[in-house]
Chain A
Amino acid sequence: MTPEGISELISRVALRDRAAFDVLYSSTSAKLFGVCLRILGNRSEAEDALQDIYVKIWNKADRFAVSDTSPISWLVAIARNHSIDVLRARKPAAAELEKAVGVAEPSPNPEQSAIASGETKRINECLDQLDTDRASAVRGAYLNGESYDLLAIRHRVPLNTMRTWLRRSLMKLKECLER
């Protein structure tokens, strides 16, 4: 799917074109479902989330024009943010804490790194300049929706220490990305 193709679809969805919405769904739902599944970690929640996400896309399509971002990034951001909202709203947070103990830390998949595009390479290069722990915390947060609470438990540090630690990592990351 070309970015231009998706852009045009979103613009037409903003004009309430249901056929464009059908095609947009068919060509992007697998990617967005992948986002939901990875962050929520179970199918039934991911399926509910995906429905909510396409309802949002239909309702917010007119905002895409002013967003100054690539169409697929715009869609993934909606899916990621919604999935993280669902994750944070879980009560109690027991399931998430379970995940902290049970799930291995994410590491970059060598295969994926090898085929990654230039841009991905850049952010990975900058992440690699951080200590391993810190890079994996940033990746884990972004890709798995891990919260400060969960990261603090995993790294066995107080919440505030975790936050300080992550903010410092973000500072370094930004310096590197803007270099």
Chain B
Amino acid sequence: MSTIPPDDTMPEGDDFVAAEYVLGVLPEQERRDAVRRIENDPEFARLVANWQRQFDPLNEQFQPVTAPNYLKGQVDQRLFGIDSGRVATGASFWNSLAFWRTVAVAALALVIFNVSREYVQRQAGSAPSQLIASMASDTGPLRSVAIFDDKSRKLKVTLVAGEIPQGKSLELWLIAGKDAPVSLGVLKSPKITEFAVSTPVAAKLRDGTTLAISVEPVGGSPSGAPTGAVVAAGSVSSI
């Protein structure tokens, strides 16, 4: 380590205090004083914001680490006092959506958000009874989210990454336990396709059931069983 030249002239001024606050080097009390000034002194707050903007690009170096499932339940508990039942199912839901955290380029989120907003508006106030599945594969670019509304018996599916291949169809399958895959139909649009689900099939649509998407000839598999590559799959969770 090289020696640090002693220097007795310390540069002074609010701009340095602002920079020190952003860097995080200040001791506890000075840090608290700075926070108070940010609240009450717009000029100081502006200096802090300027420094923060300069350092923001370093944020890229914070590597994402998946947080434990139960934390979100505890946050909800603190904010909304949600009972433990909701917390428990919530936890398994977040667990199954590990891909949400790992997909780096989630231009997806907006789409997911629009879909989820739609179902949430519908359930406003009532007990949640939604099933959701995120389908992906380790090898391909295709990612899809499916949301089932128990009341309307509609399964809504959207592609959040990838597209329907030229001259082919993407077909959605339900796989319950060791049963043979059941076709739910082909995706009509990369945006949102609504599948009507019959009562017997809906009964199979529950936690742990797999949804999968395969590439098929236009219009869907001629045989009633998947014939092409499975390009995305995921299990159903309740929220």
Contacts and interface: CB of A to CB of B under 8 A. Distances in A.
Contacts of B108: 1
B78 to A, nearest CB: 6
Given A2-B107, A88-B27, A160 B10 contact: yes
Interface residues of A, number: 86
A50 B24 CA distance: 18
Given A2-B107, A164-B7, A26 B63 contact: no
A124 to B, nearest CB: 8
A129 interface: no
Interface hub of B20, B25, B54, B113 (most chain A Cβ within 10 A): B25
Main secondary structure of the interface of B (DSSP, over half): helix
Nearest to B28: A88
Contact of A122 (B22, B57, B59, B119): B57
B53 A161 contact: no
Interface string A20-38: 1011011101111111011
Contacts of A119: 56-57
A112 B107 contact: no
Contacts of A17: 117, 120
Contacts of B67: 29-30, 32-33, 47, 50
Contact of B75 (A55, A112, A165): A55
A47 B65 CA distance: 11
Interface residues of B, number: 63
Interface in B159-197: none
Given A55-B78, A68-B49, A168-B7, A35 B24 contact: no
A143 B31 contact: no
Contacts, number: 204
B79 interface: yes
A20 B27 contact: no
A22 B68 CA distance: 15
B31 A167 contact: no
A8 B11 contact: no
A93 to B, nearest CB: 9
Nearest to A127: B58
A49 to B, nearest CB: 10
Given A31-B64, A145-B24, A25 B110 contact: no
B100 interface: yes
A84 B1 contact: no
B75 A8 contact: no
Contacts of A164: 7-11
Contact of B62 (A12, A18, A35, A122): A35
B27 A58 contact: no
Contacts of A153: none
Contacts of B56: 69-70, 73, 76, 119
Interface in A2-16: 2, 4-6, 8-9, 12
28 contacts: A9-B113, A17-B120, A23-B113, A30-B66, A33-B65, A33-B66, A51-B74, A69-B52, A76-B59, A84-B31, A112-B60, A117-B60, A119-B57, A120-B58, A123-B58, A139-B58, A141-B23, A141-B24, A143-B58, A143-B61, A147-B26, A148-B27, A149-B27, A163-B10, A165-B7, A170-B16, A170-B19, A171-B11
Interface of B: 1-2, 4, 6-11, 15-16, 19-20, 22-28, 31, 49, 52-68, 71-72, 74-75, 78-80, 94, 97, 100-102, 105-110, 112-113, 116-117, 119-120
Closest 9 CB pairs of A and B: A19-B120, A30-B64, A5-B110, A1-B106, A33-B67, A5-B109, A30-B101, A119-B57, A164-B10
Given A142-B24, A155-B1, 14 more contacts: A6-B109, A19-B119, A30-B102, A51-B78, A69-B52, A76-B56, A84-B31, A85-B31, A123-B58, A141-B23, A147-B25, A161-B7, A167-B10, A177-B54
